[in-house]
């Protein structure tokens, strides 16, 4: 396992062009004049100072978003015209893919190759997918009882407040923005304070693509100020939030206490991967390792609870340890690196606390467990065995490179263990038996089930969880488009009806 930090020969800092709020098509200072620092997790050093949005800035952004919705062209524009602008934006995202990927690498610690690879299919792909649906939004004619003609209209919900997480900044940005924009909404988006850079650059490209002023507004800031102002704003019609359960509760409370705005929450998970003893062991080991340690475990759908049928447990454990020891942690710009730094110091400290707590609870540390180097926020891939269901490392979303490895005997035991969590975002099943796969997929309470694969997500697959993983509509697929719309019924008497 490499213990290198940042290699100067592999890295050239991109020029930071956009650090101010983006409101009404312009980059502006915050009303207070305050700024905050965004930090490079590879070194712990300051990248840039970002204008800090507060309630007053959110008010200004909402005012222009409301005017753009009530009086502007975007909601009234034919879907095909919205689609053309979104497609042009997608082209600009791809043309500037190197710079956008580098921004997420220095801001969030993402592997550069991972970020760059995801831009055509993720960011630009989301825009194109929903652009293709923008001119296909329609209601239906209803068969009424009585002498009436009735039909439904699908209309954009209005001004949307988006609050996005820091783990995959650009992908999260377009997961929210693309479907709501296709629906005809206007919006105010708050990027995570840890990772504002790619959102601001994307907003600049939106302006170049022809997105009308006021449709997209980006207000960097902190949750208790800017985020709270969005959640409680009386002129925002819906808030879409991705993040922790604790913050999700606050968002929901603020929405209810203000104008009862619609709420969509995606709140993370503690996803199980269940490996049966008929599985191909090499494939199972690959899926388990990739499912946990991709993007240094900072993924809401990470397979952090790995259940292995007891006959193959020892052999699979050995394969996972071998993979961990060969895993390269270091410079995320180096194509040989498998894992970059955690996103920030707070998350770094939280992960190390959970590792220490796991050992205190009595779990056995198989490998990893330590930080790497003296600069930046690097942590070894960590695997625990002898984990009990009630341990915090088996129940809490650590959001870092920490795997809890456990045994099971029967399919009934596997189902019970998989559902023994307050979350229900995703799950994986590894087996060659179609009956086992079908039984498990129908028994696990989770929003996405992967069979003999993991991390397969895309614009055409609805994404969202059960239980405390959230509710209020899916974040991908056509379901995401419809959650940013509302259904109106129109009824009129038929000519010569006795009701006239």
The DSSP line for 175-187 is HHHHHHHHHT-EE
If asked whether residues 364 and 400 sit together in one domain, one would say: yes
What per-residue confidence (pLDDT) applies to 498? 59
* Distance (Å, whole) CA 386 – CA 389: 10
**CB-neighbour burial class of residue 73 (10 A; exposed 0-12, middle 13-18, buried 19+):** exposed
Q: Distances from the Cα of 375 to the Cαs of 5, 43, 102, in angstroms? A: 7, 5, 19
What per-residue confidence (pLDDT) applies to 145? 83
Residue 199 included in any domain: yes
DSSP character string of 391-459: SHHHHS---SSEEEEEEE-SHHHHHHHHT-SSEESEEEEE-S-HHHHHHHHHHS--SEEEES------T
Q: Angle at the Cα of 28 (from 158 to 33), degrees rounded to 5?
A: 115
What per-residue confidence (pLDDT) applies to 487? 96
If asked whether residues 241 and 330 sit together in one domain, one would say: no
The 8-class DSSP code of residue 8 comes to G
Is the separation of the CB atoms in 475 and 122 below 8 Å? no
What per-residue confidence (pLDDT) applies to 9? 40
The number of folded domains in the chain is 2
Is the separation of the CB atoms in 342 and 400 below 8 Å? yes
Strand 141-142, strand 21-23: pairing: unpaired
If asked whether residues 259 and 277 sit together in one domain, one would say: no
Whichever domain contains 399, its CATH number is 3.40.309.10
What per-residue confidence (pLDDT) applies to 497? 59
Residue-level pLDDT, tens digit, the chain, 500 residues: 545 455 544 456 788 999 999 999 999 999 999 999 999 999 999 999 999 999 999 999 999 999 999 999 999 999 999 999 999 999 999 999 999 999 999 999 999 999 998 898 889 999 999 999 999 999 999 988 888 899 999 999 999 999 999 999 999 999 999 999 999 999 999 999 999 999 999 999 999 999 999 999 999 999 999 999 999 999 999 999 999 999 999 999 999 999 999 999 999 899 999 999 999 999 999 999 999 999 999 999 999 999 999 999 999 999 999 999 999 999 999 999 999 999 999 999 999 999 999 999 999 999 999 999 999 999 999 999 999 999 999 999 999 999 999 999 999 999 999 999 999 999 999 999 999 999 999 999 999 999 999 999 988 899 999 999 999 999 999 999 999 999 999 999 887 655 55
Centre a 10 Å sphere on the Cβ of residue 378 and count the other Cβ atoms it contains. 29
Residue 500 included in any domain: no
* Distance (Å, whole) CA 482 – CA 191: 23
Q: Which residues are catalytic?
A: 266
**Residue span of the structural domain in which 395 resides:** 272-451
25 Rama sector, left if φ>0, alpha if ψ -120 to 50, beta otherwise:
left
Q: Distances from the Cα of 127 to the Cαs of 61, 130, 154, 292, 432, in angstroms? A: 23, 6, 20, 28, 36
Residue given tokens 């690196």 in the structure block: 337
Residue 496 included in any domain: no
* Distance (Å, whole) CA 109 – CA 115: 10
Whichever domain contains 125, its CATH number is 3.40.605.10
Question: Tokens standing for 276?
Answer: 């049966």
Residue 3 included in any domain: no
What per-residue confidence (pLDDT) applies to 458? 84
If asked whether residues 323 and 284 sit together in one domain, one would say: yes
């Amino acid at each position: 396992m490499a213990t290198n930090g940042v290699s100067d020969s592999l890295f050239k800092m991109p020029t930071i062009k956009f650090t101010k709020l983006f409101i009404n098509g312009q980059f502006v200072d915050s009303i207070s004049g305050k700024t905050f620092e965004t930090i490079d997790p590879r070194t712990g050093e300051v990248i840039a100072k970002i204008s800090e949005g507060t309630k007053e800035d959110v008010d200004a952004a909402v005012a222009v978003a409301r005017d753009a919705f009530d009086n502007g062209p975007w909601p009234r524009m034919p879907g095909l015209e919205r689609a053309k602008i979104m497609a042009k934006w997608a082209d600009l995202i791809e043309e500037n893919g190197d710079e956008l990927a580098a921004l997420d690498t220095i801001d969030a610690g993402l592997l550069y190759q991972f970020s760059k690879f995801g831009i055509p299919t993720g960011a630009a792909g989301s825009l194109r997918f929903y652009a293709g649906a923008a001119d296909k939004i329609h209601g239906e004619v209803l068969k009424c009882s009585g002498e009436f003609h009735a039909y439904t209209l699908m209309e954009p919900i209005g001004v949307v407040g988006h609050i996005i997480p820091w783990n995959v900044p650009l992908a999260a940005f377009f997961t929210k923005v693309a479907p709501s924009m296709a629906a005809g909404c206007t919006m105010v988006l708050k990027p995570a304070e840890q990772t504002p850079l790619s959102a601001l650059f994307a907003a600049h490209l939106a302006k170049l693509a022809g997105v009308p002023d006021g449709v997209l507004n980006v207000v960097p800031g902190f949750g208790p100020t800017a985020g709270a102002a969005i959640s409680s704003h009386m002129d925002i019609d819906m808030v879409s939030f991705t993040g922790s359960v604790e913050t999700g509760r606050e968002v929901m409370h603020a929405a209810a206490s203000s104008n009862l705005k619609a709420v969509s929450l995606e709140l993370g998970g503690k996803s199980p991967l269940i490996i049966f003893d008929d599985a191909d062991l090499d494939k199972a080991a690959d899926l388990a390792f990739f499912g946990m340690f991709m993007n240094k475990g900072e993924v809401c759908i990470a397979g952090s609870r790995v259940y292995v049928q007891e006959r193959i447990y020892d052999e699979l454990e050995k394969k996972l340890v071998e993979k961990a020891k060969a895993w390269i942690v270091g410079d995320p710009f180096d194509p040989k690196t498998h894992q970059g730094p955690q996103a920030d110091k707070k998350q770094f400290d939280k992960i190390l606390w959970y590792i220490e707590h796991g050992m205190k609870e009595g779990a056995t540390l198989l490998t990893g467990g330590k930080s790497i180097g003296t600069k930046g926020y690097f942590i070894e891939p960590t695997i625990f065995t002898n984990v009990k269901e009630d341990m915090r490392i088996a129940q809490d979303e650590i959001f870092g490179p920490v795997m809890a490895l456990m045994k099971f005997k029967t399919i009934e035991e596997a189902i019970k263990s998989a559902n023994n969590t307050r979350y229900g975002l995703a799950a994986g099943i590894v087996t060659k038996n179609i009956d086992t796969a079908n039984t498990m997929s129908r028994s696990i309470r989770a929003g996405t089930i992967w069979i003999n694969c993991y991390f397969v997500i895309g614009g055409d697959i609805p994404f969202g969880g059960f239980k405390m993983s959230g509710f209020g509509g899916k974040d991908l697929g056509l379901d995401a488009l419809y959650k940013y719309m509302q259904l109106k019924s129109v009824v009129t008497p038929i000519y010569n009806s006795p009701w006239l």
